[in-house]
Amino acid sequence: MGGGGGEECCVSLPKKWQPGMMATIEWTKDPSPDTNPGGIKPPRYNPDGTTTPEVIKWHAIHKANYTHHSITMQVPPYQKVSSLVLIFLPCDKVYPLIDSAEHSRVLGHLPYGEGRAKEIIRRLGASPTCQP
């Protein structure tokens, strides 16, 4: 699980789950949110907040290092749709939460701070590190 995150709208799910339902999930990941290759931090903007040529160049290099991922997976069974929450786990694994009860089991009464991600991983039965 990483920091940040985002929100995208919208997903339509059938009211009733059926065996064999599949979904393709695509996402972009910033492997180094605060630096460019070589540990280069972003240059400063102009004092008035406008962009410098150096900032534009840094952001172009930064964006070129994004990685793009895609996975096609079976939609897990659900009884009552809460909302679709995608949990991104280590090793570019994805866990979709759809069912209200599962949503509560995984995300209910979580600790704040560093222990939050570890507890979600534990509740999902996932590994906190990549396993070969």
pTM of the model: 0.76
pLDDT in the model for residue 4: 56
Cβ pair 106, 120 in contact under 8 A: yes
Cβ pair 25, 70 in contact under 8 A: yes
Does position 5 have pLDDT exceeding 70, yes or no?
Answer: no
- Side-chain half-sphere of 64: how many Cα atoms within 13 Å? 8
pLDDT in the model for residue 131: 74
What three-state secondary structure class fits 124? helix
Cα separation of 116 and 110, whole Å?
Answer: 6
CA gyration radius, the chain: 19
Mean pLDDT over the full length of the chain:
90
Does position 2 have pLDDT exceeding 80, yes or no?
Answer: no
Q: What size, in residues, is the chain?
A: 132
